[in-house]
Amino acid sequence: MKNEEKKEITIEKMVSFCKRRGFVFPSSEIYGGFAAVYDYGPMGVELKNNLERMWWKDMVQRREDVVGLDSAIFMHPTTWEASGHIDGFDDPQIDCRDCKTRMRADHMVEAFGINADKMTADEINKQIEKLEKEDKKLKCINCQSENLTPAKNFSLMVKSNLGSPTDKLSEENVVYLRPETCGGIYLNYKNVMDTGRVKLPFGIAQTGKAFRNEIIARQFIFRTREFEQMEMQYFLNPKEMDKKYEEWKETRWNWYLEYGIKEENIRWYKHEKLSHYAAQAYDIEYNFEALGGFKELEGIHQRGDWDLSQHSKFSGQKLEYRDPITEETFIPHIMETSAGLNRMVFAFLHDAYTEEDVDGETRVVLKLDKRIAPVKVAIFPLQKNKEELVEKAREIYKELSSHYMCEFDESGSIGKRYRRQDEIGTPYCITIDFETVEKDDSVTVRDRDTMKQERVKVKDLKQFFSQNL
């Protein structure tokens, strides 16, 4: 008897599950860890790669109007002056004078029901004054002390040196690790245009690492200092903006549903306070129960002509577009879809994680869409000391693993092996038993979600999986 029950998901449960099953490990753990940085284990890297592959397939491969790019992480430092990141890419911080914990000032005032989205340190200090007049005091999240500094701005840019004559970080040859992947897209807009294969409206997409000196908030892989983004910048005539913006909002919303996210777990958040260049900004938020509720997963923003105008101004290069039909000349406007791959991994794990009561025992099962499951088929010989079973199982593994990510497992009872595969979300398990080798050349194929088993001829396995995976 199966009794489907979604139990409470806590951050401790997710962290320990992800470590135990090889999804996510804390970075540099043998040295005591490294704050807000994580590594992806054997299952995590498969899940992350699958999500990235599906995104690329839907955002680039299947679209006539989007092309791909892979630009370098290091870029000319003027890029970040032009984009406004050097002067204005800050988070407001408050430090505890007693235990030295550094905290996000906006999050601290938000705990009092204030919307501090995009507030500067000065604006937050005004809010703190108001709260104090009502006898409401901010407290350190670590030691509860009220001995706190005022809010001040803290740059999120990660700085380094290239080709510096000294080993020490100097002001010479400063480079920044990109804080978002889209910068490389703007700088290559002209190169892509000059290939002659695109015309407005069109998009350039890229995935890759980004770095931000985030104030640590203990949010697991939701907010880290090194992370991956999947961004698409769509260049268009401003007259088309509203129509295209609505189309892209719909496309991105449906993408999450297509890969199995439950609709009740996502919602739109409209930014009321916008960056000076933005005309509209919406986020798709996911209900990260382990983090206390809905939080940003992906941003869909209208950026106007800010990016190309700024890079044109700072580089002296013309980045205008001349419409071949109307002969109108203008700087293309941009709308972007900007998703975080690591947050996506977290959201998909969160959504798929299920605890069921099966005959009085708890079965943990990751109900991931088959396309993103890390392992597609697990292959078990019934007994590990029976050579004929192991040999047959290896033969099947060899055949199927050239098409799908497979796992060969011969240790423990079949029940335990099923449970392990359920926990990592493997859609199918195959068991090779004595009937397989002595009688009918058939194997038992077991379905993760229904737990139903059926006999399939070995010769039909390829067809079975091409229909079901």
Residues that bind ligand GAP (CB under 6 A): 180, 182, 212, 214, 223-224, 227, 229, 231, 296-299, 336, 338-340, 342-343
Q: Which is nearer to ligand GAP, 224 or 310 (CB)?
A: 224
Collapsed DSSP state (helix, strand, coil) of residue 296? strand
In 3D space, the residue among 385, 384, 365 whose CA is nearest the CA of residue 427 turns out to be: 365
Collapsed DSSP state (helix, strand, coil) of residue 308? helix
Shortest CB 36 distance to ligand GAP, Å: 8
Shortest CB 227 distance to ligand GAP, Å: 4
Shortest CB 421 distance to ligand GAP, Å: 29
Rounded Cα distance between 452 and 456, Å, is 13
In 3D space, the residue among 180, 179, 198, 181 whose CA is nearest the CA of residue 190 turns out to be: 198
Shortest CB 294 distance to ligand GAP, Å: 13
Q: Which is nearer to ligand GAP, 229 or 426 (CB)?
A: 229
Q: Which is nearer to ligand GAP, 223 or 244 (CB)?
A: 223
HSE (CB half, 13 Å, CA atoms) of 294? 11
Rounded Cα distance between 233 and 209, Å, is 16
Q: Which is nearer to ligand GAP, 46 or 296 (CB)?
A: 296
Is the sign of the CA dihedral 36, 42, 46, 47 positive or negative?
A: negative
Shortest CB 140 distance to ligand GAP, Å: 22
Q: Which is nearer to ligand GAP, 296 or 409 (CB)?
A: 296
Rounded Cα distance between 283 and 289, Å, is 18
Rounded Cα distance between 381 and 383, Å, is 5
Q: Which is nearer to ligand GAP, 157 or 456 (CB)?
A: 157
Q: Which is nearer to ligand GAP, 248 or 408 (CB)?
A: 248
Shortest CB 24 distance to ligand GAP, Å: 13
| CA-to-CA dists, residue 311 to 185, 308, 419, 439, angstroms | 11, 5, 54, 72
Shortest CB 371 distance to ligand GAP, Å: 21
Shortest CB 297 distance to ligand GAP, Å: 6
* Residues sharing a CB contact under 8 Å with residue 126, sequence separation 6 or more, in sequence order: none
Pairing of the two strands 66-68 and 202-211: parallel
Q: What angle do CA 344, 277, 81 make, to 5 degrees?
A: 85
Q: Which is nearer to ligand GAP, 199 or 209 (CB)?
A: 209
Q: Which helix (H) or strand (E) holds 295?
A: strand 293-304
